[in-house]
Amino acid sequence: MSLEVTRGQNVVYQMPHDWASISQFLEPLIARVDAAQSSLQLLVITPDAEVAAAVSAAAVRLLDSADTQIIAATSAPRAARLLELKPAHVLAGSASTLLELVRGSALKLDTVRAVCVAWADELLARGEDASLELLMSEIPKDAARAIVAAGLTPPVEALIERYARRARRVVSPASEAAEGTPLQYVTVAPEGRLTALRRVLDDQDPASAVVFVREENSERTVESLLRSLGYSGANAAVHAGRAAAPDTKVVVLFDLPATHAELREAVGSATAFALVQPRQIESLRALAAGGALRPYALPDAGRRARNRESALRDELRRVITEQTVEREILALEPLLADYDGVEIAAAALKLLEREREAARATPAPSVAGAPSKTKESGAMTRLFVTVGERDNVRPADLVGAIANQPGLSSASVGKIDIRQSHTIVEVASDSAESVISRLSGTTIRGRRVVARRDDESRRPPARSSDRPAGNRPPGNRPRRDSGSGRGNRR
């Protein structure tokens, strides 16, 4: 899938959220870097610091010249200091971190020859599109553009149309198989894959197994672990490889295959387990091509979280299948470095039960339709905010915009009612003026907003999509993203 990219050419890559995939889109961009020129030539815009570090590590492996300066901008102050000492040839960082460097005059983008957005779908899920827009406006128009995404969703297609029009597409070929591939998966942090691999092998105790790897670093790491577990020699029952023999019982995907065809070759007829980060689950679902995909609970973690009520499990299933939870997945992912995914889910469930217990103890409003009250903050005041469904705004965006202001927190926010052209937000009355002054003029989803106390007489004329959900005709209810769940709080 590694292809030469000519000057000024735009390319779109569709590939899974997997560190083994980085070299495939990065290699043709790295080939453009000239170490003899002391200037920034390749900029990689990532969703977060973790991806930036992985991209920089891959660039180090791909570049032959030791004179090439590569910087992972995982911290704006540290990157600014390094850029002052010596210009970078290759720079990778999150959109917000890179924008901070530009605004602080530590980073100039006028010499960039190629820019890559990896991964675009995750970047959009984090709400980084406004920072991305400002960065792209500073990049020379003749710079080559590469956009990487796990799935070409409508928001991603809109981003491609805006920044990489008429781009050549490098997309995983569609599966020719009539049936998908069933998979089980364990959610782990990247540094926790070896521990998870050992636990899967302990639990399954397979007579024969292959650990699928796609790059040499992974292969060396896995083989070292297998030798320590007693699997050594040409006839070892478990070994690292890229394809399963016909009699293989178990395949563990240490790396993700790039295509469904590669997945089928790797798995064959064996039972397959994938070790994935939460951000990779959608990529895994696409790779399975309709095959059953279900989480695999490691026994010790399962015992710690076994006794959960059936009604709560059904509710969680509905949230997973019917609502979008990308922001929550990304927020919880760092915890996987220390805890199993089942334990994290159990802790989140405990917090939910605590919130519900507090809500049950809160008296209901005495007047129907009056602003609600919270146990902590007392009376709530409704605010009118000039963003709505047409701006793709989510409850989490508003909660974050308010909670990020000094002296405020998410506890200051009550019900959020998103309409077509505006949103009604309840905030603690003692914080209302502070929220109005600090929220007005900020940018949410790329649009500058104005906030004021809600006055129904000043609202825009009501449309059918602006009616409260309970008054809409059946089948005419716009879909809303649940965001952080704050909009459904009672």
CATH of domain 11-171: 3.40.50.300
Architecture of the domain made up of 183-296? 3-Layer(aba) Sandwich (3.40)
Q: What is the pLDDT of residue 133?
A: 94
Q: What is the pLDDT of residue 29?
A: 92
* Placement of tokens 């793709």 in the chain: 392
| pLDDT of residue 154 exceeding 60 | yes
Q: What is the pLDDT of residue 335?
A: 84
CA distances (Å), origin 167, targets 6, 145, 148 = 12, 8, 12
| pLDDT of residue 407 exceeding 50 | yes
Preceding peptide of 119 cis, ω within 30°? yes
Alpha-helical runs (H) found in 366-451? 395-403, 432-439
Q: Mind listing the pLDDT tens digit for each residue in 452-465?
A: 998 776 666 655 44
Nearest-5° Cα angle at 479, 474 to 480: 130
Instruction: Answer for the pair 353, 309: CB distance below 8 angstroms, yes or no.
Output: no
3 state SS for 104-121: CCCCCCCCCCEEEEECHH
Q: What is the pLDDT of residue 198?
A: 93
- Provide CB contacts within 8 A for 467, sequence distance 6+: none
| pLDDT of residue 467 exceeding 90 | no
Identity of the residue numbered 45: I
Q: Mind listing the pLDDT tens digit for each residue in 87-120?
A: 999 999 999 999 999 999 999 999 999 999 999 9
| pLDDT of residue 333 exceeding 50 | yes
Rounded to whole angstroms, the Cα distance separating 368 from 373 reads 12
**Which residue, among 424, 426, 421, has the nearest Cα to 462 in the 3D structure?**
421
Instruction: Answer for the pair 34, 190: CB distance below 8 angstroms, yes or no.
Output: no
Topology agreement, domain 11-171 and domain 183-296: yes
| pLDDT of residue 484 exceeding 60 | no
Q: What is the pLDDT of residue 64?
A: 67
Tokens representing 139 are 């990049």
Tokens representing 24 are 């495939």
Q: What is the pLDDT of residue 211?
A: 96
Other beta carbons within 10 Å of 106: 17
pLDDT band at 480 (very low <50, low <70, confident <90, very high): very low
Alpha-helical runs (H) found in 63-112? 76-85, 95-103
3 state SS for 234-279: CCCCEEEECCCCCCCCEEEECCCCCCHHHHHHHHCCCEEEEEECHH
Q: What is the pLDDT of residue 283?
A: 80
Percentage of the chain modeled with pLDDT above 70: 81
- Give me the sign of the Cα torsion angle 356, 362, 368, 373: negative
Break the chain into its structural domains and give their ranges: 11-171, 183-296, 310-360, 373-488
Tokens representing 201 are 């092998």
| pLDDT of residue 45 exceeding 90 | yes
Span 238-263, mean pLDDT?
Answer: 90
Alpha-helical runs (H) found in 361-471? 395-403, 432-439
Q: Mind listing the pLDDT tens digit for each residue in 413-424?
A: 888 899 888 899
Q: What is the pLDDT of residue 235?
A: 86
pLDDT band at 475 (very low <50, low <70, confident <90, very high): very low
**Which residue, among 194, 35, 17, 27, has the nearest Cα to 120 in the 3D structure?**
17
- Give me the sign of the Cα torsion angle 234, 240, 241, 246: positive
CATH of domain 373-488: 3.30.70.330
pLDDT band at 364 (very low <50, low <70, confident <90, very high): very low
| pLDDT of residue 140 exceeding 50 | yes
Instruction: Answer for the pair 276, 185: CB distance below 8 angstroms, yes or no.
Output: yes
Identify the helix (H) or strand (E) that includes residue 357: helix 341-360
Pairing of strands 447-448, 443-444: antiparallel
